[in-house]
């Protein structure tokens, strides 16, 4: 079966062989900043890389199964605990070291387009990215559809030969940079959604419902779980890698810090929006109660008049008066109008 490189990762590239049902998206050997020609299997690639001092393997996997991942782990000497994490993809962002192999875990994120925010809207979709970095190999394991890597590989091969020449950590930087760039893009789109929600809360025509605001808060919590915990692993990497690569990771760290600050401000803003909406609901309820009370007071005048003259007393002067009936209507109407004007002026009606 012939497959276009990067199709599973969303990017263009040269054609490569791939077994049906295999998790291997692409496997290549790089030497002196260039990709060696030909198609190789993971074990062949490692053998070729070990024969040269300036070569390393970049193996890309997409949602591998346990059996296939175990086979790759045996070939590349990966620790069983890291392999288990790579298959299950339920880990927090972290950096661990198993012998000479470093294992980096990141959560990916992408913005899900939607017409409007409702109580069931999905705003942020998350996945996971694992990176095994060894002395002569780098293995990327991706779960989910966010942060494709096909275009990352293509950019490195066509435009960043000087960077990829620096070895596996250069690939780890490029992958981390792509993940954090997606964080930045998601944060910008989420900020636009929050502006719309805020505008809706203070709009007279259409107020944002509380369930939609709460759903946005839940989505923001999911995004925060992806972004904030990555700060510590990145700081560890900056202190770990050589200076020529460390400067690239520091740039990624700066972008991540900015995104973390944005997410924190979003959380505060959303809390303020929610409190403002709850206050509006309380004010609206109070206004409704005042209107009901005002109309009840006006109705009380009519009830009192009907109650007095409905008691059937024998000695009531007004009953024998010629103008008693029109006078009763006049008094009731005047009292009702006066009460209406008083309540209207005071803002109750």
* Whether residue 51 has pLDDT greater than 80: yes
Distances (CA, A) of 60 to 110, 140, 150, 318: 20, 5, 9, 100
Q: How far is CA 58 from CA 187, 205, 304, in A?
A: 30, 56, 90
Domain boundaries of the chain, sorted by first residue? 2-280, 285-346
Rg (CA), the chain: 35
Q: How confident is the model at residue 52 (pLDDT cuts 50, 70, 90)?
A: confident
Positions of E strands within the chain: 2-4, 15-17, 24-31, 34-35, 55-62, 94-98, 101-111, 124-133, 137-143
Cβ atoms of residues 18 and 55 within 8 Å: no
Taking alpha carbons only, the member of 187, 196, 172 closest to residue 56 is 172
Q: Which whole number is the average pLDDT over 76-95?
A: 90
The CATH number of the structural domain formed by 2-280 is 3.30.460.20
Q: Which two tokens stand for residue 109?
A: 């994120």
The CATH number of 285-346 is 1.20.58
**Res 16: pLDDT:** 43
The residue count for the chain: 349
The yes-or-no verdict on residue 101 having pLDDT over 80 is yes
pLDDT of residue 253: 94
Q: Are 83 and 70 in contact (CB under 8 A)?
A: yes
**Residues ≥6 apart with Cβ < 8 Å to 195:** none
| pLDDT tens per residue, range 113-163 | 887 777 777 888 999 999 999 999 999 999 988 878 888 998 888 888 888
User: Per mean pLDDT, which range of 4-8, 156-160, 187-191 is the poorest?
Assistant: 4-8
Q: Describe the strand order of the beta sheet including 137-143 as a list of residue ranges.
A: 34-35, 24-31, 55-62, 137-143, 124-133, 101-111, 94-98
The more confidently predicted of residues 38 and 260 is 260
**pLDDT tens readout for residues 17-49:** 445 568 889 899 999 889 998 888 999 999 999
Q: How far apart are CA 40 and CA 28, in angstroms?
A: 7
């Amino acid at each position: 079966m012939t497959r276009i490189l990067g199709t599973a990762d969303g990017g263009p590239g040269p054609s490569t062989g791939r077994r049906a049902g295999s998790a291997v998206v692409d496997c290549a050997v790089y030497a002196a900043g260039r990709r060696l020609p030909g198609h190789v299997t993971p074990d062949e690639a490692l053998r070729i890389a070990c024969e040269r001092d300036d070569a390393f393997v970049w193996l890309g996997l997409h949602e591998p199964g346990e059996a296939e991942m175990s086979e790759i782990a045996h070939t590349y000497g990966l620790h069983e605990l890291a392999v288990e994490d790579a298959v299950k993809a339920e880990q927090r962002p972290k950096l661990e070291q198993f012998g000479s192999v470093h294992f980096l875990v990141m959560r990916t994120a992408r913005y899900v387009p939607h017409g409007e925010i409702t109580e069931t809207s999905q705003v942020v979709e998350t996945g996971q990215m694992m990176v095994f970095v060894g002395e002569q190999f780098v293995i990327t394991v991706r779960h989910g559809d966010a942060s494709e890597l096909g275009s990352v590989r293509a950019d490195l091969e066509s435009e960043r030969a000087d960077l990829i020449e620096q070895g596996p950590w250069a690939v780890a930087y490029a992958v981390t940079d792509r993940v954090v760039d997606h964080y930045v893009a998601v944060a910008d789109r989420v900020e636009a959604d929050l502006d719309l929600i805020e505008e809706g809360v203070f709009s007279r025509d259409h107020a944002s419902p509380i369930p939609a605001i709460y759903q946005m808060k839940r989505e923001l919590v999911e995004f925060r779980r992806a972004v904030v915990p990555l700060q510590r692993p990145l700081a560890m990497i900056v202190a770990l890698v050589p200076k020529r690569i460390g400067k690239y990771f520091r740039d990624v760290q700066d972008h991540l810090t900015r995104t973390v600050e944005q997410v924190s401000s979003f959380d505060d803003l959303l809390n303020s929006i929610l409190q403002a909406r709850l206050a509006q609901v309380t004010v609206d309820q109070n206004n409704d109660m005042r209107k009901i009370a005002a109309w009840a007071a006006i109705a009380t005048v009519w009830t009192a008049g009907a109650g007095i003259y409905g008691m059937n007393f024998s000695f009531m002067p007004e009953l024998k008066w010629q103008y008693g009936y029109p006078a009763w209507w006049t008094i009731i109407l005047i009292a009702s109008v006066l009460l209406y004007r008083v309540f209207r002026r005071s803002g109750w009606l």
